[in-house]
Structure 1
Amino acid sequence: MTTWNLSQMERHIMICNGATCMRAGAEDVTGQIRDEIRIHRLDEKIHTSRTRCNGRCKDKCVVIDYPKGTWYSVQDEDVARAVVHESANRDAVIYSMENGERKRGENRIKGINKYKKGNSSMKKAVLFVGHGSRLQAGNEEVLQFVEMMRADIDPTLLIETCFLEFASPNIEEGIQKCVEKGADEIHVIPIILLHAGHSKLHIPAEIEHAKEHFPDIQFTYGQTIGVHEEVFEILKSRLEEVGLDVKEKHEDTAILLIGRGGSDPYANGDFYKISRLLWEQLNVPIVESAFMGVTTPSVDEGINRCVKLGAKKIIMLPYFLFTGILMERMNKMAQQYRVTFPEVTIEIAEYFGYHPKLKTVLLERMNQALDGTSSGMDDLENFRQYAKEHGYEHHHHHEHV
């Protein structure tokens, strides 16, 4: 571990490398500031450090210059380099010290208090976390679904929706919204099918990070949808919509249940469990499992297996909550399979979407978090133990195709 001799240093420039600032280009800002210092041979006078989040996420990217105590919002290279020479435009200043008093820039919002004051009644917020999609239509479906649930939720609860990745607001911003609206308790509910990396690590990491900024806020965490009886009712109704009578015997029909795919063996095991339990509730000879990416068997392999087992009709059954890039790809695959296997009837069922049974499950998960019976709290404790043993940076990894 390096130990610098800082005795000659006159200034210390700290560049926020928190999740929000990193998404806004903090890596480039860090490089630009360090490059300017190097070019002007100021290394002996100015030291730089990367920091965790400094709590001014709306002013991203945040750079702090000590000992003067000036906070900057750095949004382009010119400002980054000007910070080194203390010549940045006043519009870039978040806070400055003047005559021993901290002054906030005229164009900067006050923000929210880090610590709650007073003894007013507790205000509870429910923050639903969707996965997020590169396809905006999928994100809109999540937002609309949560809106549809409002009628069945206690009106005294604050309701917000955010996304894990690919869409805004992200979790950090979603928590910020809840706090800005006065929440003392935030109940984070994942709209996620299977219990894997996102629910075990990524969302708990965001919650633990938020606790550092809002020590007076109480957080709880809900559990994923998981293996739930209502899931089978959703799947069977989607099969019925494409003409399968789930009460009748279908000797030549195969169901290919298709999931997103991931690297968590327990989540993949749950997916196979769901396939098996679905088969138990149907009168078809074949229910196969396949994944769109990351793990096997692939959808191609699943289709080929169904054909080899003698299926004359194959129903591709998406195990997806909402639409997205993968659903678009699956529809194209179905078209190609019809060309490749003209002797086989190939149908594709709808994803979960706005199914009323999905609302039932999510409301159950929400109520479990609210009444303290959610197993999601175990995930927070498990994450803390994992981070203690293995370390964990405040960001999450993409595990998708």
Structure 2
Amino acid sequence: MSQTDTAPTIGDEEAILLIGHGSRRERSNEQVRELAAGLESRLGIPVDAAFLELAEPSIEDALAELAAVVSRVTAVHCSLFAASHVKNDVPIAIDRARTTHDLEIDVGSHLGIHPAILDLLDDRAAAVEAQLGVDRATDDVAVVLCGRGSSDPDANGDVHKLARLLYEGRAFDRVDAAFVGVTEPRLEDTLHGLAKHRPDAVVVLPYMLGDGVLTQRVRDWTAEFDADYPYVDALAGDPLGTDSRLLDVFADRWQEARSGSVEMSCDTCKYKVDLEGYEEDVGGARAMLRALAHHEAHADREDVDDEPHAHDAPDKHVTVCTNRTCADMGSPAVLERLRQAARDSEHADARITRTSCLGRCGDGPMVAVYPDGVWYGDVDADDAGRIVSDHLDRDRIVSDLVDQLL
């Protein structure tokens, strides 16, 4: 039984914001909007779509529009796993909205591992088997579940878990996990390794929501493998797309959020615990600064063949806390003076933005410089020129202003 069978009473002034990543391919963005429309029909309350990057509206703009007509919004992720977008980028955007609008905002979990998704993947595999003319009950059919790959071990681990669950109870010869990039094993290597086992067929399932650049890359690599190994039939299936079963998952994530029962995998979160090889990522402040830099520095490149997360980042990213306490202490003037000094400089290559609370109330105005991890406290407008001329121009820390080093 779906959790939504016992959903709490829905208020008249409530809406859902379905948050997608955003793509250079408008078809992928349109799929998110289609899912939003389907979820609105399913639940009977308004559902708007927003995007983290590369598409409009942004999360902040969408929440600003909703704040004018509703009092409560539940943010539901289209993200498949809990990596940096779910843990950092979206929460920062929502925290900004909370400080700006009189709006109650609940935040749901990522799609994650759900029985409806397993059923959907099983059907995607069956469709490919039909095209290849094989039957898993009588033929050796190997499946590769291919994710995009992440720098977060938690997210990568869930791809392997999902692959194992897809294998359990089904007659596949094997189900392996692979990735397009960022981490190992890569899809190309996994396919070539499978050839040694000489299965009758290889079914590649792109574990992605939209039909975008990475999905096409999965198809191309699979086609190349099929051509290189004539004794193995290989074909890639379709992504998750707008299948109605995803609405079951979204509905469950919506109810969890509004009932306060969202669970995250904190025991294996690289921002909370020491994991081998990820020790430098521990710490909420560091995670927040990386998320801010990602959000502000993302370049919307025209070339769709570029890596999906290619960046034209400046050398430095400077954030100024403009939350209430720091604002009362003069942070807006610091922000403007920093920007003016950077414009006047011939050497400063920096993006200077505002941010919400940095958790150092009373020690502000606070200024953080990334990727150096240097936080300056008790900064006034007159100090802005020194931060630019010393730190941004000559890469020298202004020692008498340092609050902490990350």
For residues 217-265 of structure 1, what are the alpha-carbon distances to aligned partners after superposition, in whole Å with 9 as ceiling and x for unaligned? 1111000111111111010011111236999524522101100110100
Of the three residues 82, 87, 98, the one matched with 1:195 is 82
Q: TM-score with structure 2 length normalisation?
A: 0.62
**Helix, strand or coil at the partner of 2:189:** helix
Cα distance change, pair 129–334 in 1 and its aligned pair in 2 (3 A): same
Alignment of 1:218 with 2:116, yes or no, is no
**Helix, strand or coil at the partner of 1:323:** coil
**Helix, strand or coil at the partner of 1:243:** helix
Cα distance change, pair 390–203 in 1 and its aligned pair in 2 (3 A): closer
Of the three residues 255, 260, 267, the one matched with 1:367 is 255
**Helix, strand or coil at the partner of 2:162:** helix
1:354 Cα deviation (Å)?
Answer: 2.0
Distance 1:193 1:342 in 2: 34
Cα distance change, pair 300–172 in 1 and its aligned pair in 2 (3 A): same
Distance 1:243 1:123 in 2: 47
Q: Which consecutive unaligned segments of at least 5 residues does structure 2 have?
A: 1-10, 273-281, 299-307, 311-406
Distance 1:195 1:396 in 2: 16
Quote the residue 2:73 is aligned against.
186
Which is further off, 387-396 or 129-138? Answer: 387-396
Alignment of 1:396 with 2:294, yes or no, is yes
Letter in 1 for 2:125: L
Quote the residue 1:123 is aligned against.
13
Quote the residue 2:177 is aligned against.
289
Letter in 1 for 2:79: I
* Root-mean-square deviation over aligned CA pairs: 2.7
Asked if the contact 2:129–2:203 (Cα under 8 Å) also holds between the matched residues in 1, the reply is: no
Asked if the contact 1:221–1:376 (Cα under 8 Å) also holds between the matched residues in 2, the reply is: no
Q: TM-score with structure 1 length normalisation?
A: 0.63
Quote the residue 1:34 is aligned against.
none
Quote the residue 2:245 is aligned against.
357
Distance 1:249 1:231 in 2: 22
Of the three residues 152, 155, 168, the one matched with 2:42 is 152
Distance 2:144 2:87 in 1: 27
Distance 1:238 1:335 in 2: 17
For residues 341-368 of structure 1, what are the alpha-carbon distances to aligned partners after superposition, in whole Å with 9 as ceiling and x for unaligned? 1221011111111222111111111122
Asked if the contact 2:88–2:288 (Cα under 8 Å) also holds between the matched residues in 1, the reply is: no
* Count of residues paired in the alignment: 274
For residues 109-156 of structure 1, what are the alpha-carbon distances to aligned partners after superposition, in whole Å with 9 as ceiling and x for unaligned? xxxxxxxxxxxx8721211101111111111111112112222112xx
Letter in 1 for 2:23: S
**Helix, strand or coil at the partner of 1:141:** helix
Percentage of matched positions with identical amino acids:
28
Alignment of 1:335 with 2:223, yes or no, is yes
Cα distance change, pair 376–126 in 1 and its aligned pair in 2 (3 A): farther
1:386 Cα deviation (Å)?
Answer: 4.9
Of the three residues 113, 116, 128, the one matched with 1:230 is 116
Letter in 1 for 2:62: G
Quote the residue 2:64 is aligned against.
176
